Amino acid sequence: MIRMRGVDMYYASDKPALTDCDVDIEQGEFVFLVGHSGSGKSTFIRLLLREILPSNGTITVAGQDLTKMKSWKVPYLRRNIGCVFQDFKLLPNKTASENVAFALEVIGKSRHVIRTQVPEVLRLVGLEDKIDSYPDELSGGEQQRVSIARAFVNRPPLLLCDEPTGNLDPQTSLGIMKLLERINKTGTTVVIATHDRDMVDSMRKRVIALESGRVVRDQDRGVYGYVD
């Protein structure tokens, strides 16, 4: 699903944000990407979304080499990648169902498809009774569920999450993680960048640890492992 070979990323010329990265993630895996702030987690996610291009090396996502991809093709790549962020990125003037429908509208899906898929995915994330609520009428956990619903409504094979529980309390975070795990069970590859120690320790999934832009550990059924 994801293959990184010798990836370096320099924002400024002196200090690399990511260096010499070799990572393989298979279809259907559930992976935690852990590390301190500034260790390169977000750079990792942004590279996979092709928001940025690596300074060196190659990145392949779903069989496509991102470093050679034409920029007009990038939108089509992103249709195969759902993303979830710490700050939810919902449109405040649209309801929950409109926010989810928006993701389908802008990739040109018909109204019929939208009418059937949006309620279905909102049911999946457990918000069937909040479909007409605006984001500011929803709790943080509920907003994150809407944003997961939006990321998943198109059934992408890959779901990237950048600190999805960063703004949420432990109880709510657990609910979000369970939801992501359920999505993973449908065959979707899930990559989560996080520094939520308890979550990583309790889930016992594959953990890739980054430190100053280097992969320092990659273990199955791993734990967070740092001392903060």
Partner 1 sequence: MSINVGYFVRESIQNFRRNWVMSIGAVVTIFLSLLLVGIAMSFGYIASGIVQSVESKVTIQVFLKDGAPVADVDALQATLVSDPLVKGVDYVSKDEALEKFKTDMAESPEIVANIRGNPLPASLDVTLKDPREVEAMVAKIKANPQFTKIADRPSNPEESLKYGQQVVKKLFAVTRIIRFVLIGFVIVLAVVSLIFINNTIRIAIYARRKEIAIMRLVGASNWFIRTPFFMEGILQSLIGAVLAIALISSTTAWLLPKVREAIPFLPLTLSSGDMAQISFVLVLVGIMIGLIGSGFALRRYLKV
The site for partner 1 (CB under 8 A) is made up of 49-51, 71-72, 74-81, 83, 89, 91, 93, 102-103, 105-108, 110, 150-151, 154
Shortest CB 162 distance to partner 1, Å: 11
10 vs 102, which CB is nearer to partner 1? 102
Minimum CB–partner distance for residue 153 and partner 1 (Å):
9
Q: Helix, strand, coil: what percent of the chain each, to 5? A: 35, 25, 40
CB closer to partner 1, 17 vs 45: 45
Q: Which two tokens stand for residue 32?
A: 């935690």
Which residue lies nearer to partner 1 by CB, 20 or 98? 98
CB 31 to partner 1: min, Å? 20
Taking alpha carbons only, the member of 59, 128, 55 closest to residue 96 is: 128
- Rounded to whole angstroms, the Cα distance separating 65 from 22 reads 15
CB of 171 to partner 1, least distance (A): 28
- Here the tokens at position 65 are 């080499």
Cβ proximity to partner 1: between 113 and 216 the closer is: 113
Buried b (16+ CB within 10 A) or exposed e, 99-115: bbbbbbeeeeeeeeebe
